[in-house]
Structure 1
Amino acid sequence: MNEVQQVNDTTSREPSPLSSADYLRDILRAPVYEVAQVTPLQTLQRLSERTGNQIQLKREDRQPVHSFKLRGAYNMMSQLTPAQQQAGVIAASAGNHAQGLALSGKQLGVQATIVMPLTTPNIKVEAVKSFGGKVVLHGNNFDEAKARAVELAEQHHFTFIPPFDHPAVIAGQGTIGMELLQQNGHLDYVFLPVGGGGLAAGVAVLLKQLLPQIKVIGVEAEDSACLKAALAAGEPVTLDQVGMFADGVAVKRIGDETFRLCQQHLDAVITVSSDEICAAVKDIFEDTRAIAEPSGALSLAGLKKYADVHQLQDKKLAAVLSGANLNFHGLRYVSERCELGEKREGLLAITIPERQGAFLDFCHILGGRAVTEFNYRYSDDSLANVFVGVRLMQGQEELDSIIEDLRQGGYPVVDLSDDEMAKLHVRYMIGGRPSKPLQEKLYSFEFPEYPGALLKFLNTLGTRWNISLFNYRNHGADYGRVLCGFELEEGDVLSFTSYLRELGYQWKDETANPAYQFFLAQ
């Protein structure tokens, strides 16, 4: 797949109701600051030093509703006639547009009704209500909610406020571009997230009118790349399905007007994976201590990838942190995947002989490299398949070297770092019950976490007792935690536990644990 797609305006289209000059005028006159904030353009110091460029982040998470959507919603609502404002407005949304509409309605004294799917998390429903919006829960998905919103608009003469494909919404989002130029008039590149295209269209049309030498790059999630598909077809097309990880840009079809403007004014479009988005979320946190939602970190992920592909150096680059309305529990996924997105972790499936000491020999081949995860369960007397994560300091080149070392050591290896099913499901399903009866005892251990700590743990443990189960995951904590099963005859238990006491590690006998008995014991 060509991940970086150049944009060429070669398609003949009907003239727009608004010219680029019209949009520039409307952006400059947009009254969004009656409710929105001028958000800071913050330098990401650590990331800038790492990449050799000046990288800045437009902090739209600092808006009262924690996203840029407030700008477009308010700009359109402020232009309604008194009769339209009196009747009220309506939208269908489960995310940032809903909150932007609700706060805009509160500021203007206009009743805003938002139809949200029944599956919308309660935290989002309550956020809309807190801004004064009236919530109608309907349907099991966005399409059903939108259909209901259209029905209500007809019944009650509400004005429907679209999330992106309207000139007034586009112009409202374009005010971000005006601020960018005021805050740094020497930018070389600006990276913009693309879902429905409202933000990208508005900012791009302004930048290209005022400083056309700035390269403006659209960024899409690989599994929601509706603009890329439209560019290939020459017109908006509907994707069969979209990924929901970056739900703020999970749009099946780009808008007609936003497509026209993006096609005309964007210099290129780049797509990024979920893992690369997770890595950008981590970068933002490390530099700002802000937690972006996945779609909010999308443009920074694209910036990093584009700068790497094109070997940019000493350039001034800006991205937009478009939102921070994150489902807190989504951080678990982000934490698991960010290292993979940075090529700082590799996942491997390795076959080792089922003999005493084989596990230790395998770890010696890895040397002092930090093992981030190790999952193993005894299966038969000849071979064992293990799932291993390894910390990388030099990316893919180092992973390739590890794989070669293991193969030369006689260990068959499969690289699972880009295997989505392995990362989403299989890594959590390694194990099960042994295929034959075992005299097994289960122990949990804690030991100080540092490079080589796992290898030292295994060396200290020795090879006298056969390991029948092993689970280890480094989450970046100060202490490593291991769950380990041993084949022990009744007569060995006393000497084994005496040996453990001499090791100096914290340990606990988990053999009677109900989770072990239910899922893993013979």
Structure 2
Amino acid sequence: MPKSYIKRILDARIYDVAIETPLEPMRQLSHRLGNRILLKREDLQPVFSFKIRGAYNKLLQLPPEQRARGVIAASAGNHAQGLAMGAAQLGVRATIVMPKTTPQIKVSAVRMRGAEVVLYGDTFDEAASRARQLVNERDLVFVHPYDDPDVIAGQGTVAMELLRQHSGNLEAVFIPVGGGGLAAGMAAYIKYVRPETRVYAVEPEEAACLKAALKSGERVRLPQVGLFADGVAVAQIGEETFRVLRETVDDVITVSTDEICAAIKDIFEDTRSIAEPAGAVGLAGLKKYAEQSGGRNVALATVCSGANINFDRLRYISERTEIGEKREAVLAVRIEERPGSYLRFCRDLGDRAITEFNYRYAGDGEAHIFVGLQVSAGSDRSQLVEELERKGYSVTDLTDNEMAKLHIRHLVGGRVPGLCHEVVYRFEFPERPGALRKFLEQLAGRWNITLFHYRNHGAAYGRVLAGMQVEPSEREELLDLLEQLQFPFWDETENPAYSFFLGS
């Protein structure tokens, strides 16, 4: 079966619109992992994705009478742009059905390439159903995004270039999988030309349709898929792609959202380019393999398959990156609710960089603190927990707790019945190692701290919201102390946002 694709791949004449993308060494990541990491830069294609290869190859293989009828596809992203560009190059009329929920930036990109856009339904399945109806109503030719031999062959040209660009030993190649078009084309070529090179398919844990199919021995439909890596969020592997992949893939690696976010950061640090989540899936799998295999000084390659990312997703990705890289521990810590214990806890953290600190007074007894701390990879996180427990703290590790990372960190707060004489101030201080601890040492101890919120966003200045119980007769003394801190501060006690959600 894989052999039948070799001639198709070699005959794919796609370079009228596609480019031969570079295979670049990732120097920083290579140094960190102790291996030679190679990145195939498909994000540099004219449509910022490998999809142009398969779409254009399909158009080239269509008989003239079918091209004259026009083509149609259902897509919310990269396939739409690839088909639109290829059709414009050949003078073929293209129609793309996209869900109404598609971001305007993608709709505009498809229209700019000359395709007619039909917005229909709220989901991809609804758009795909409408596209099939239009095939009959308008006598159009349907171009599948992945489950088509000519599309698969076009995507296989990525592997043809990769093996030509790297003629030395290549231990393994890691390929992202959604419907399987890229993986099937690349795996077929690699296993024919270099059968000793291992091929790993990589899928998000929330959309592992190939893994499920290989386990069952047949294609299965996942009841639901996660949409974070939307370019590979497919519920069922393609029929043709599954026939190829079950013969050519050595194994499937699944990766978490946090691991994908960390891989996006790795690509940025080595290339200064921002991959879309699906574009970094392969690298996330490569890193997982490198860490688990323990191999050293071997060549490992993967594909940055696309860079069509919505700008507003970057905040979420940044938030999750440190955890995905195992560089942040998120802990819930119980301390005694009495003067001095808060400062003692901060001192017991030592010189560790604090990434987040959330606390709200809840009455006498115990105080619960939500704290994020930078850790190094490996056993450092468990050592941190053990160290705090030896010092008498009750610690719960929330680093792998989805609810804590997504929601609870933003909800630590609320009203405290019976809390009197609370004042709230907002502060800024230069963000440098140890700055938060020094700030707390100057502030804590004199008055009972009732509220504290800090999050390191990588800015030049740290920002803190702090509440304290201060008798009216002591307000002047507090102001004198705040002036001595020499940090900008603002009295927020009368702020309506505080009154609505935190004030007693």
Compute the displacement of 1:396 (Å).
4.5
**Contact 1:69/1:173 (<8 A) preserved:** yes
Residue 212 of structure 1 aligns with which residue? 195
| Distance in 2 between residues matched to 1:34 and 1:436, nearest whole Å | 73
Per the alignment, residue 284 of structure 1 pairs with 267
Partner residue, 2:204:
221
Shift of 1:518: 1.6
Map Cα deviations across residues 421-454 of structure 1 (whole Å, 9 max, x no partner). 1111111111111132321111111112222221
Following TM superposition, the consecutive aligned residue runs of length 4 or more in structure 1 with deviations greater than 6 angstroms are none
Is the CA contact 1:444–1:483 (under 8 Å) kept in the aligned structure 2? Answer: yes
AA of the residue aligned to 1:363: C
Q: 1:380 matched to which residue of 2?
A: 363
Structure 2 residue 332 is matched with structure 1 residue 349 = yes
Instruction: From 289, 307, 317, give the equivalent of 1:324.
Output: 307
Does the alignment pair 1:34 with 2:4?
Answer: no
Number of the residue aligned with 1:5? none
| Aligned residue in 2 for 1:200 | 183
Within the candidate set 96, 102, 125, 1:114 is matched to 96
Whether 1:509 aligns to 2:491 is yes
**Corresponding residue for 2:59?**
77
Report what 2:5 is aligned to.
23
Determine the C-alpha separation between the residues in 2 that align with 1:167 and 1:246: 25
Q: How many residues align?
A: 503
Contact 1:221 1:298 in 2 (8 A): yes
Letter in 1 for 2:251: A
Quote the residue 2:247 is aligned against: 264
Please say which of residues 203-212 and 19-28 is displaced more in the overlay: 19-28
Structure 2 gap segments, 5+ residues each: none
User: Per the alignment, in what secondary structure is the counterpart of residue 254 of structure 2?
Assistant: strand
Q: CA deviation at 1:513?
A: 1.9
1:77-133 C-alpha deviation (Å, 9 max, x unpaired): 111111111111111110111111111110111111111111111111111111111
1:8 alignment counterpart: none
1:314 to 297, 308, 312: 297
- TM-score norm. by structure 1 comes to 0.95
The residue that corresponds to 1:390 in the other structure is: 373
SS of the aligned residue for 1:497 comes to: helix
Aligned-partner SS, 1:78:
helix
CA contact (8 A) 2:99 2:127 kept: yes
State the secondary structure of the residue aligned to 1:425: helix
2:279 aligned partner, one-letter code: G
In structure 2, how many angstroms separate the alpha carbons of the residues matched to 1:438 and 1:158? Answer: 72
1:425 aligned residue (407, 410, 426):
407
Contact 1:365 1:405 in 2 (8 A): no
- Kept after mapping to 1: 8 A contact 2:58/2:143: yes
TM-score when scaled to structure 2? 0.98
Contact 2:2 2:248 in 1 (8 A): no
2:160 equivalent to 1:154: no
The 8 Å contact of residues 374 and 472 in structure 1, kept in 2 or not, is answered as: yes
Residue 231 of structure 2 aligns to a residue whose secondary structure is: helix
1:332-343 → structure 2 map (5 Å cutoff): 332-343=315-326
SS in 2 for 1:65: coil
Structure 1, unpaired ranges of 5+: 1-18
SS in 1 for 2:445: coil
SS at match of 2:68: helix
Greater shift in the superposed pair: 400-409 or 163-172: 400-409
1:93 to 62, 70, 75: 75
Contact 1:65–1:96 (CA<8 Å) still a contact in 2?
yes
Query: Displacement, 1:24?
Result: 0.3
- Does the aligned pair in 1 maintain the 2:342–2:444 contact within 8 Å? no
How far apart are the structure 2 equivalents of 1:444 and 1:148? 53
Q: Which residue of 2 aligns with 1:16?
A: none
Question: Which residues in structure 2 correspond to 1:481-496 (within 5 Å)?
Answer: 481-496=463-478
Let me know the Cα RMSD of the aligned residues: 1.0
Q: Which amino acid aligns with 1:490?
A: P
CA distance in 2, matches of 1:346, 1:94: 36
- Farther-moved stretch of structure 1 (182-191 vs 129-138): 182-191
> Residue 198 of structure 1 aligns to which amino acid in structure 2?
G
Shift of 1:21: 2.7
**Contact kept in structure 2, 1:445 and 1:481, CA below 8 Å:** yes
CA contact (8 A) 2:362 2:416 kept: yes
Q: Distance in 2 between matches of 1:273 and 1:438?
A: 45
Quick one: which of 342, 353, 365 aligns to 1:370? Answer: 353
Question: 3-state SS of the aligned residue for 1:180?
Answer: helix
Name the aligned partner's letter for residue 273 of structure 1.
S
SS at match of 1:32: coil
> Which whole-Å deviations, capped at 9, do the CAs of 1:225-262 have from their partners, x for residues lacking one?
00000000001100000000000000000011111111
